[in-house]
Amino acid sequence: MDDVPRDYDSDPGRSRAADRSWQLRGDTHEMVAERLVRDLHAPVIDVGGGRGRLADLLPRTIVVDPSPAQLVDAVHPKVRADALALPFGSGSAGAVAMLWMLYHLDAPTAAIAEAERVLRPGGLFAACTASRRNDPELTDGYPHSPFDAEDAPAIVASVFGEVEVDAWDGPFTRLPDRDAVDRYCRSHFLPPEAADRVEPPVTLTKRGCLVWARAGD
C-alpha cells in the first residue's frame, strides 16, 4: 500500500491540470462549508488546504499545508506545517478539515489523531477521498492507497469512534474534449493511454465518500 505522490512542488503543473468547470455539481468543499457555517463551527483548520479552496467559502479559516507552491496562491491566513504536527493548542479548533489529502500519508491515522487533539469538545472533523472504483470509464481500478473510500470510515472511526458517511456514486464530471481528458488523466496519475479508452465529450462516474466525526468531551 503506497501513499499518493506529493508532487505539488516538484510538478506543480499536475495539480493545476484539473479544471473545476468540469464538475457537474460542487465538490465536497461546498458540502463541508455549508455544514460548518450552519452549525457555527469556528475557527476552522483546513489541513492540506493548498490554495485555499475551503477558506474561500468560510470565514475564520486557517489554511495549513506543507507545500510552498500550494500556499503561494492562498490569500487567507495560512501556515506551512505538517499534518502530523499541527502548530495549534489542544482544544483550540471548532472544526478540522482534511479534504483530499490523507491518501498522501503513510499513516493517516496519526494525522487524524492530531486533528482530534486540536478539536475542542463537540468540534467537527471532516475528511474525504475517492474510491478505488472511481472513473471506471478511464481505468479498471486505482491502486490501493492508505486512505481510500473503501477503508476511510473505519480508519476515522479508529480515532473518533462513531462516524457519519456521505457517499457518492454518479455521473458528476464531464470532460468536453480530448485536451480535457488528457489533462484529467495527468491530474489523477493515470497513464496517457487511458485517454484512448473514451471518445469525448465524456461523463465520468465519480465514487467516493465524505466522513464526519465529532470530538468527545
Helices (H), 108-151: 108-118
Select the more confidently predicted residue: 197 or 25.
Answer: 197
pTM: 0.97
DSSP state of 142: P
Q: How far, in whole angstroms, is CA 56 from its chain's centroid?
A: 15
Pairing, β 44-47 against β 78-80: unpaired
Q: Residue ranges of the domains in the chain?
A: 12-172+206-214
Is residue 187 predicted with pLDDT exceeding 70? yes
CATH topology of domain 12-172+206-214: Rossmann fold (3.40.50)
Tell me if 123 sits within 8 A of 41, measured CB to CB. Answer: yes
Q: Is 60 exposed, middle or buried (0-12, 13-18, 19+ CB in 10 A)?
A: middle
Helix (H, G, I), strand (E, B) or coil at 171: strand
Write the pLDDT tens digit of every residue in 77-121.
999 999 999 999 999 999 999 999 999 999 999 999 999 999 999
Cα 198 vs. chain centroid, distance in angstroms?
26
